[in-house]
Structures are given as C-alpha cells and as structure tokens.
C-alpha cells in the first residue's frame, strides 16, 4: 500500500480536535478494557490495520489476554470469554460502526440500559464514533504500521 498524505501535518487543527475527543474519552467512567475492546472491534470491521496493531498492543500492555484478542472478531461464538457488559458494548460497537445497516437498534439500546447509565451509553457512543473517525483517517491516508 502506497503512503498518501499525513493529515496531522496538513490539517493540524483537525488533529487537535480529534485529540480533544481522546482527552474527553481518557476521563470517562468506562474501563480501559471496554475502551480497548471498542477500538479493536471497530478497527477490525473497518479493516484498519494501523489501529488494530496499535490497540491490540495497548490492550496487551493493559493486561488483556491474547486469547480474548484472538477471539474478538468472533465474540458472538465465544461469548463465555466476554462478560454481559462487554458483549453489549461489542454489539453497540458493531451496530454503530455499521450504521447504514440499521444503526443502534432498540433491542441493543435496551440491553445497554440494563448494564450502563445513560451517561455511560453516551460515553460508549462517543468512543465508537471517535475510533471510527480515526479508522477512516488511517485507512484513507494509508497510514503505515510501525514495526
């Protein structure tokens, strides 16, 4: 894949805004584990190798297991490895990432209300939206994985 452009140098104000979202997400009530599961799963769906690489490394540093990372793309078939809250977050991540299919369904939203406060649901939505934006930046600009 041929490198294209570096948006961070060409549009630094846009990157500053993206990092402001990251600053917000760093202080929300969601666990680091949930945030990394969101980032990895959305990045898998969006085929963003750069973000998959980055966030699997971050998850491992944070104590996530190899097995759960390996199973993440098939979490529905490996539910016993993920808590009910994690399953709900993964379902939300998939529905929001694939928004043109149906969006966040009423059934998934109701499930989210069983596990999370409305504030936490807003935080989950913003986490999904933010990683999707990063995925689109990295995929569109052909951001290269660092070895």
- pLDDT tens by residue, 87-123: 999 999 999 999 999 999 999 999 999 999 999 999 9
pTM over cut 0.85: yes
Upper half-sphere CA count for residue 66 (Cβ side, 13 Å): 0
Domain spanning 30-141 has what CATH number?
1.20.1290.10
| pLDDT tens for each residue of 42-79 | 999 999 999 999 999 999 999 999 999 999 999 999 99
């Amino acid at each position: 894949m041929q490198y294209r452009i570096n948006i961070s140098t060409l549009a630094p104000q846009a990157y500053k805004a993206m990092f402001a979202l990251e600053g917000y997400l760093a202080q929300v009530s969601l666990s680091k584990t949930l945030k990394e599961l969101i980032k990895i799963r959305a990045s898998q769906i969006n085929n963003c190798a750069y973000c998959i690489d980055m966030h699997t490394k971050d998850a491992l540093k944070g104590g996530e297991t190899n097995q759960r990372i390996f199973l993440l793309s098939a979490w529905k078939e490996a539910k016993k490895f993920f808590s009910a809250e994690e399953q709900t977050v993964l379902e939300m991540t998939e529905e929001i990432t694939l928004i043109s299919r149906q969006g966040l369904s009423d059934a998934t939203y109701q499930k989210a209300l069983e596990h999370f406060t409305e504030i936490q649901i807003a935080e989950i939505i913003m986490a999904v939206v933010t990683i999707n934006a990063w995925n689109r930046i990295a995929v569109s600009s052909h951001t290269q994985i660092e070895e």
